[in-house]
Chains A and B, each alone.
Chain A
């Protein structure tokens, strides 16, 4: 069975993320000849003797000019039976929002640490953000071992420091520590000859062995309605009364004949058919994009949520507690009304209270009246209309939201629901 692992690489600037991805692709023979020739050409022009593997992912003009990564680059490769989708996230604090973008869909984070620098504020921030969005596994790549003569004590110092930090901040992710030199290729794909004292898996082995759950099948059924199909102008009389609810199953399973409830209205009906492109099927499971038809002609539209009548229901909430990551250069204005986007539903929202703002360096929860870009805070949000909310750790799709600024329609914050009433 083919599996897919989405992972991101993160960590401080200059810890060698782009070089690591270049090495991973190069050593697993995933780089094509012309890409490689382009890199070799550029490296030679700049006076380097070996190909500069960081050029594989730094694709923007500004990135090459400044030698940094600004935005997430996506790369694809296969090894054995597994397809990998890599999101290379930038290290600069200024571009943290791009890191959060990559983290929100990842199943594993490769966190780079320069063995000489140890944990920086940005390493901690990325670890906290990865944990906050619920990434279940962390591979801590202790890089640049070649610059400390492959000294095991230097590696262990990073491991101890990170474990202390993980305990203090309550990190939940499984952790793997790998000493490596991305530049020279030790412990990325090949073991190399410099780290005989390290007996654990290489990075590629960790990536290949990390379990990927086919997610939310065992959870209660959740189906946000995206669009309603009403082919009224059709000349086919069979289609005259057709009303299909189009969406992607966020969690759980549904079968024809089962009873559903529509939220927030609470009205109930029975599923008469499940279709894809007009072709019927018996079931829909988490991840499937389908069209659902009901026995009764209920008033259902975009923004409504279908759940199964025999399963636990989400909370219809007018007030939520959430962890919020502020992503916009303009700070949060507490008196302003924002548009909250939850599944396919949009409601007006105001931040009623900031309960604390997390100091990334000390892990202290400090009081705050304002939030600036990259802040991680616990807030209480008041909603003009109810949303059908789950807790984020229970159900991701119905437990997450965005805040949009009504002046620009930009996405200014991302939220994870921790409580609802």
Chain B
């Protein structure tokens, strides 16, 4: 008797299938690896898809220059452990080239990643980028295909998406365009944590509860760093917090938590009443459709 497969087994098998479709159909793909929990899952899935061979693509990180140092150190160590090639391209360099212009020096660089990403695509001629976006994260993402076609400006046209039937994924694009492939589209935040627990995956330390200087701003906790000092009149406190999502320092907020192990995080995630982006993104609340607008401009 062969054991029945669990929900996680099925999600894993489907994600491996998608990664191999990229390998089978694309000439020059890359996998976006930030050190965050979703891309940590992607790396494990790529190991299951391609070992004992090497990954048929390099890892790529678009660094805003405003990332937590623990995460960057983790990123480099993980790539080295896997023996895979890591390409890093920086928003800082785009600023130096003049392709990114900041309105204010302290402006968040999050949305400017799209420019640096486009430059990396041109530099290396990538025809597919694999990302860890999930449909449960946000309303515009809920509408995106597993293989999402982008034009030469990296733009997503949500009104003109390709039909995508069965398991027949179409990664072909006309010259100049590329596709973005999302192997964990159908995973929820809880699925990701359950997979991390099941596979015993290592994560950057800031995912686990630790004391951190913060201020309260607009119902969220904003971390106090050199880059993001407290504003006048704000009181700095040091609550126990963890990050549910990891990104640019200027727009990612931690949540209050005492969860120091994956099991404790799983318990909290199962009981949460606030969505991942709602609890943690300082940039999504400005406009109901901010994610869609960023995606149209080439954001992941």
Contact = CB atoms under 8 A, between A and B. Distances in A.
Contacts of B143: 59-60, 71-74
A83 B289 CA distance: 28
A54 to B, nearest CB: 12
A400 B48 contact: no
A344 B50 CA distance: 17
Given A42-B288, A214-B5, A289 B186 contact: no
Interface stretch (B67-75, B133-141, B244-252): B133-141
A74 B279 contact: no
A8 to B, nearest CB: 13
A272 interface: no
A231 B47 CA distance: 13
A38 interface: yes
Given A248-B167, A400-B166, A287 B288 contact: no
Contacts, number: 173
Given A59-B143, A248-B167, A402-B168, A253 B162 contact: no
A288 B163 contact: no
B20 interface: yes
Interface stretch (A93-101, A186-194, A261-269): A93-101
A38 B292 CA distance: 16
Interface string A290-323: 0000000000001000000000000000000000
Contacts of A234: 52
B159 A62 contact: yes
A289 B163 contact: no
A276 interface: yes
Contacts of A260: none
Contact of B166 (A32, A70, A105, A344): A105
- Report the contact-size class of chain B (Cβ under 8 Å from the partner): 35 or more
A74 B166 contact: no
Nearest to B186: A85
B200 interface: no
Contacts of A343: 168
Contact of A32 (B24, B162, B278): B278
B47 to A, nearest CB: 5
A409 interface: yes
B49 to A, nearest CB: 7
A32 B13 contact: no
Given A38-B288, A60-B292, A341-B168, A70 B158 contact: yes
